[in-house]
Structure 1
Amino acid sequence: MDTTLTRSRLVRWYVATCAIFLASGLSISTWASRVPAIRESLGIENSGIGLLLLGMGVASIIGLSVAPAVMARLGARRGMLVALLLVAAGLVIIGVGSDTLQLFGVALIGLALFGFGNGSVDVMMNVEGAALEKATGRTVMPLLHAFFSFGTVIGAGLGFLAVRANIDVVAHCAVMGVVIAVVAVAAIANVPAREVAMDAEPSEQRAHWRERLSASLAAWREPRTYTLGVIMLGMAFAEGSANDWLPSAVVFGHGAPEEAGPAVLAVFSVAMTLGRILGGPVVDRFGRVWVLRVLAVTAAAGLLLFIVAPFGPLVYIGAALWGLGASLGFPIGMSAAADDPAKAASRVAAAATIGYVAFLCGPPILGWIGDHIGLLNTLLIVVGLIVASGLFSGAAKPLVVTRAENDDARR
């Protein structure tokens, strides 16, 4: 199946994969930028937002859990299309439930669809990224994740403009849902079927899907999966807590005006995007382990500054350092999981699952704790997890895979 690609086809695949990452980031920050307005519309406190996030997190875990089965059945290519369409539909329902109907239950249903779709596509788009790395022979994962961050920058910027223009949440979410659906259809049309991403042409004979599912779960029996998971857990917590709680921490923790929330989130997202755009050459020059340790220190210092400084320029500087420091933990973890091309799909899926469980389940827990000790104090927990991520950075050291090991893995 993995036939030689023309340069034109390879470029289209590259651009399409970037668009998929961008659409996922766009959806996340669209929701995050309107959390304060949704909270006010539904008349709930931090614990209520935490419950919404819990519903999204549970659905996302289900999406993460079934992603290997979806890939075994459909392949990453078709699976990503289905998942992104669910994200788009969920976003529209969130807007209708929170703004038009003002019903907590409807908003929760929307977040469940939104979470399930994002959980599934997050695993599959990273597997697709590993397939693209294999086809190009280059480290592209940081740049792909830069496009996720670029999507969050766009979403945060549009959220800021929507708040300033007094655009209703339902109108904002509906427009963004349509945009995400259009991007999904256009992007998937340019993604080729590849064996490493468990795709197949309809006429192609391949192993039964249960055998492919068993192969995709093999990585869970490897200790390195869990040590890489610690790195990704800490950095996913750093990123996820910002996406879901940074605007609320600015508005309700620092006492800033509502439009300052999306503005600070945009600063965080811009810093993270720049880190990912520039990260590939830096990692190639200095190595994964050294870069991860330096960035863990940067993220922890930035988050501490964000927590303790009064609202003003220092808060923006703290958010920028926080975003820069958290920028490469997840993509480096993905690249490390994909070191062995013969086992890339199963290892990337496992590592992505660990990271996204933290990314999606951490914020609801932080919301519950935040009701007791305040959001800013709660973010100190994230500082500790970032430090743990730095301490385990040695797990990302590149593997040396022999030809014999690759041959054995294919048998």
Structure 2
Amino acid sequence: MRNNGAAVTKGAFVPAAEVTHWRNAVVVAYGASGIAFSTWVSRLPAIRDGLDLTPGTIGLLLLCLTAGSFVSVSASGLIVLRLGSRRTIRIGSIMVGFGLVLAGFGTSVLASPVVVAAGMAVIGLGAASWNTASNVEGAAVERAVRRHIMPRLHGSFSLGTVAGAGLGAWAAGAGIPVFWHLAAGGLLVAGSVATAAAWFRADVTPVQGERPFRAAGTDTFEDPSTGPIPIVRQTDAVPEQPLDNKRQIAQAWRDKRTLLLGVLVLGLALAEGAAGDWVALALADGHGQTDAAGAAGYGLFVTFMTIGRFAGTLVLDRFDRVPVMRWCAALAVAGLGLFVFAPVPWLAFVALAVWGLGASLGFPVGMSAAADDPVRAAARVSVVSTIGYGAFLCGPPLLGLLAEHVGILHSLLAVIVMLVVSFLLSPVARKTFLNPGPAPITARLDR
């Protein structure tokens, strides 16, 4: 049986052990994505030296990555609806692996900036759709276990970046050629994700009783503690007026809540992206710190962002999305403001910790909220991802243009404006699709 081109299996209730394997497989996909990203980033100095690039030509290489990413994320909703999240993740990871091999080959063997640029474009094309599909898969796992696990999944991405950066530093110190390092990273990423994808179930898992859909068929299963619980299967839970893929995407772009979620994510994604591109330079130029201290400052930001993501599951389970998103936006505003106006350098480092905590949950919570409706999850996640990734990829370069006029530190104040908007839009993250009745047995056994 097929649903919008993606293979769907009419199946029975998913056992707890299988849900655990599913969750762990999605963790692998997120972690591998982080490794892939930091693999090429960690060798960028070696790529620059191997090709004798100027800052301008490095910018052009990164522009190829950005262009590929933006094209891919813009089409990701249609891709996931057509292929399903499992196949999209597999193909995306293979493309990223091939792109890493191509970039390494262009650096160490051909010494060709054009080949490296092509590799970066392929990485961008594969990674963006892979990330959208991972968010769809992660949201499906979250529904299955009935807990807020999306922050920890994004935390796995952060841990992957730390691991990849560490391996990159070791490879650079050991003098390993860029080709062999990137080729090994590409094979690891593609192989691990393609294997883990066998456990993905977002395309085939039953959905339990979402109210907005008419159930064409139901079953029950016996829970010893509560008795029979109705199950509505994904293949049977259909919108009142089924839409083809393109109409689903168009409708998602017209959906007010989806667009507002995109703007909510935009502010917090911009806060994260701005830190990645400008914190080290802002510490050096604005607060008079050394380059090493600037790098350490960014490491502090990433560390606290990772802590926030792993703690986010517990916080969201207790307080739910809206108050947590308000606190995140408020913390990001406070941290960023303190960073800009810190009278002494040590306060700037404290500010980075607060800023990192505030920026930690915007993207994962936004993806969860966009995927509340499982039938429209792919279309809506793609819209929110496009808006969020647009800010993440395009916002920091625009801040650079602003910095030409007001300085790096004060250019960051523009991010505060968007964070205030995110604070005001926090209520749109409220859950709108609720499962009536008790939690499925998998959730209790899996905890």
Q: Which TM-score band (shorter chain)?
A: 0.7 to 0.9
1:82 aligns with 2:99: no
Partner of 1:326: 359
Structure-2 separation of matches of 1:318 and 1:154: 25
Amino acid at match of 1:189: A
Name 1:147's counterpart in structure 2. 156
* Mapped pair 1:234 → 2:267: yes
- Cα distance in 2 for residues equivalent to 1:255 and 1:44: 27
Cα distance change of structure 1 residues 105 and 376 upon mapping to structure 2, 3 Å threshold: farther
Partners in 1 of 2:351 and 2:39 — Cα distance? 22
Who is 2:336 aligned against? 303
Letter matched to residue 126 of structure 2: G
Greater Cα radius of gyration, structure 1 or 2: 2
Question: Which residues in structure 2 correspond to 1:361-400 (within 5 Å)?
Answer: 361-367=394-400, 369=402, 375-399=408-432
Which residue in 2 is equivalent to 1:408? none
- Deviation larger for 156-165 or 221-230: 156-165
Is 2:141–2:202's contact at 8 Å kept on the other side of the alignment? no
* Correspondence for 2:257: 224
Between the aligned partners of 2:80 and 2:275, the Cα distance in structure 1 is 30
- Correspondence for 2:61: 52
Per mean C-alpha deviation after superposition, the further-off stretch among 266-275 and 160-169 is 160-169
**1:169/1:364 CA distance change after superposition, 3 Å:** farther
Q: 1:229 to 1:246 in 2, by over 3 A?
A: same
State the shift of 1:277 in Å: 1.0
Deviations 1:290-336 (A, max 9, x none): 22222223223333455566996555434332221110011111222
Contact map agreement 2:79 2:88 (CA 8 A) in 1: yes
Could you tell me how far apart the structure 2 residues matched to 1:291 and 1:193 are?
Answer: 26
Verify: 1:347 aligned to 2:356, yes or no.
no
Aligned to 1:357: 390
Q: 1:5 to 1:29 in 2, by over 3 A?
A: same
Q: In 1, distance between residues paired with 2:120 and 2:288?
A: 27
Partner of 1:272: 305
When you count helix as a share of all residues, which structure comes out higher? 1
Shift of 1:102: 4.6
1:184 and 2:228 matched: no
Q: Is the 8 A contact 2:136 2:202 kept in 1?
A: no
More divergent stretch after superposition (254-263 vs 71-80) = 254-263
Change (3 A) 1:325 1:172: farther
Secondary structure in 2 matching 1:189: helix
Task: Please give the per-residue CA displacement for 1:150-209, whole angstroms capped at 9, x wherever unaligned.
Answer: 212222333444455555544433332222122212211222362579xxxxxx99x9x9
Q: Report whether the alignment pairs 1:11 with 2:10.
A: no
What TM-score do you get using the length of structure 1 for normalisation? Answer: 0.83
Letter in 2 for 1:154: A
Query: Once superposed, what is the RMSD of the aligned Cα atoms?
Result: 3.5
Q: How does 1:67-146 map to 2 (within 5 A)?
A: 67-98=76-107, 101-146=110-155
Kindly tell me: are residues 377 and 20 of structure 1, through their superposed partners in 2, closer, same or farther at Cα, counting changes over 3 Å?
Answer: same
Residue identity in the other structure for 1:128: E
Aligned to 1:32: 41
Residues 373 and 305 (structure 1), Cα distance of their counterparts in 2 relative to 1, 3 Å cut: same
Alignment correspondent of 1:288: 321
CA distance, structure 1, for counterparts of residue 396 and residue 205 of structure 2:
32
Answer with 281-290 or 10-19: which moved more: 281-290
- The CA deviation at 1:127 is 0.8
Taking the TM superposition and a 5 Å limit, the aligned residue runs for 1:166-205 are: 167-192=176-201, 194-195=203-204
1:88, 1:323 → 2: CA distance?
Answer: 29
Amino acid at match of 2:114: G
Offset, 1:228: 0.8
How far 1:226 sits from its partner (Å)? 1.3
Residue deviations 1:119-141 (CA, integer Å, cap 9, x gap): 11111111111221232233221
TM-aligned CA deviation for residue 32 of structure 1: 3.3
Q: 1:46 to 1:252 in 2, by over 3 A?
A: farther
Please give the per-residue CA displacement for 1:200-224, whole angstroms capped at 9, x wherever unaligned.
xxxx99x9x9824433543222111
Whether the aligned pair in 1 keeps the contact of 2:39 and 2:168 (CA below 8 Å) is yes
Q: CA deviation at 1:82?
A: 0.6
Conserved 8 A contact 1:339-1:398: yes
1:263-292 CA-to-partner distances (Å, cap 9, x unmatched) read 444332221121111112212322322222
Matches of 2:28 and 2:189, distance apart in 1: 10
Distance (whole Å) between structure 2 residues aligned to residue 376 and residue 100 of structure 1: 40
Structure 1 residue identity aligned to 2:196: A
Q: How many residues align?
A: 397
Q: Deviations over 1:8-34 (max 9, x none)?
A: 221111001011111112222333334
Higher strand share: 2
| Bigger mean CA offset, 159-168 vs 351-360 | 159-168
Q: 1:400 to 1:110 in 2, by over 3 A?
A: closer
Distance in 2, matches of 1:313 and 1:169, equals 37
Instruction: Give yes or no for contact 1:156–1:262 (8 Å, CA) kept in 2.
Output: no
The answer to whether the 8 A contact 1:296-1:389 is kept is yes
Distance 1:371 1:105 in 2: 29
CA contact (8 A) 1:241 1:363 kept: yes
Ranges in structure 2 where 5+ consecutive residues have no aligned partner: 1-8, 207-234, 437-447
SS of alignment partner, residue 155 of structure 2: helix
